Amino acid sequence: MDRTETAPGDPPPADVIERIRQASANLGGGGRTVAELILSHPEEVALLPAAQVAARLGLSESTVVRFAAAIGYDGYPALRRELQDRMRRHLAPAQRLTRYADDPTRQTPAAQSFADDLADVAATERALTAGDLATAVQLISDARRIFVIGLRSSFVVAYTLYHHLNQTLGTVRLVDPARGEALDRLAGMEVGDVLVAIGFPRYTRLTVRAADFAAAEGAKVIAITDGPLSPLARHATVLLAACSSNKNFANSNVGALALANALIAEITVRNRGRALPALSRLERILGVGEVLADGEGD
């Protein structure tokens, strides 16, 4: 664990590259040399152990290790992991696929995908606090209207949340630009409303704009995203962090879907007085549909 963890209410830690820039002026000659290499070639350093970085620069390995400590990490491996995470967030899908395919240490693609998804769900559960979940449940349960937005690959998470919550609460609107509405669905948003904004690297500009607009109108914002450095975090009343692996060419939504399902379960049980009649009506509707499908209707 590095020493960058923050207490509740603290500002989010700076991006690793920004932290290196800020610290470089106060480093010694060897430390500045390491900083310059990382700033100019972060993707390369992310793949190199401390000994290889030292050899490349003509420095001692201890100098590289001390550099990591000087900028707030508990050793070089923690710094390297953060550089790797940053690389995965910022690389284009084609670049990620090339690196993934050329990685000699990985399992078969299918086995690696299953392993990554399991790890994502476990990491998402560990990161979720009871207080944050309770706050999100309260905001949605008490909201006059709930708007949900998630675009591109995040749309599947947004639709899952919308579909199940609207069945039970009946006050949920899905922002779906495919209908030609763009952000029109947010018109009239005001105090008492809630926006659930879902997005992961590489973030969709329209989702960020929706969160900005909602906050400006006095609505509460629940962000389902990858962490406090996300652009969706700046206006979030509550941030629900989901781990999203992107070791191959595409982000995985499994962690975010598991988080959405947990949120749906909590809200449905809390609002069972509203949910039970709604679900009973739905069953009657589906029963009529089954009869018609069997050819017994008119």
DSSP 64-106: HHHHHHHTT-SSHHHHHHHHHHHHHHHS-HHHHHHHHHT-TT-
Q: How many other CB atoms sit within 10 Å of the CB of residue 48?
A: 18
Provide CATH 1.10.10.10 ranges for the chain. 16-90
Provide CATH 3.40.50.10490 ranges for the chain. 120-286
Q: How confident is the model at residue 85 (pLDDT cuts 50, 70, 90)?
A: confident
For the chain, give the percent of residues with pLDDT over 70. Answer: 78
Q: Where is pLDDT greater, at 55 or 252?
A: 55
Say how far apart CA 273 and CA 277 lie, in whole Å: 7
Q: Where is pLDDT greater, at 96 or 192?
A: 192
> Taking 60 as the threshold, does the pLDDT of residue 4 lie above it?
no
Give the containing element (helix H, strand E) for 53. Answer: helix 50-57
Judge residue 135's burial from the number of C-beta atoms within 10 Å of its C-beta, 0-12 exposed, 13-18 middle, 19 or more buried.
Answer: middle
- CATH number of this structure's domain 16-90: 1.10.10.10
| Domain range 120-286, CATH architecture | 3-Layer(aba) Sandwich (3.40)
Nearest to 270 by CA among 133, 149, 162: 133
Give the containing element (helix H, strand E) for 238. Answer: strand 238-241
Confirm if 202 and 225 have CB atoms less than 8 A apart: no
Average pLDDT over residues 195-210: 90
Q: How confident is the model at residue 290 (pLDDT cuts 50, 70, 90)?
A: low
